[in-house]
Structure 1
């Protein structure tokens, strides 16, 4: 966004040291975007937003113009690559496992063979 690396330039070990010990330099970023990026770069992974929290925070500030294109912003060649490698959601990935599968997931050694098959199917 600013054109600058948040932990500066230089030899990889020097940059890695700054990643581990320093704070990101976010330059000209202000407001909600700066807060969001700062939170995403938190040293402790537990302090970083989850994917759901990240999407919620982005959606809160998403106000596209009326003439926002409904087509892909990527060049055709990039869109083709994305489509070629994207994994489409299928019923087995989007369906919630039943109670037996949830129970087996927490105690796999206690599951009858039929229930283990259900857990494996639910996992993909």
Structure 2
């Protein structure tokens, strides 16, 4: 593994909120704001719940009860994960010594593109 990639132990500590060494800041930046960041975020949030969901599959009773118990856990989890995604990503950037505003890079680029397109169409010479 190269010096810019965290080891398994470092990754686990990173997921638990510990900062990585300074030489891995580029890896953190890519993890938090790079391609696939939302997918990684949701997978990391749902994985710990899978054993509980599997346990509900073995609860005696009608299938609908088991499915509803699973949904009572899964749906709020997904809702709050979505609602707090930006907060969590900002926290990861801040704890690893990066600018929390990197979370808004895509939004800012989209705004700039829209502004340029608007000015191109409606600019008065």
Q: TM-score, normalization: structure 2? A: 0.24
The structure with the greater share of residues assigned to helix is 2
Q: Which has the higher contact order (CA 8 A, sep 6+)?
A: 2
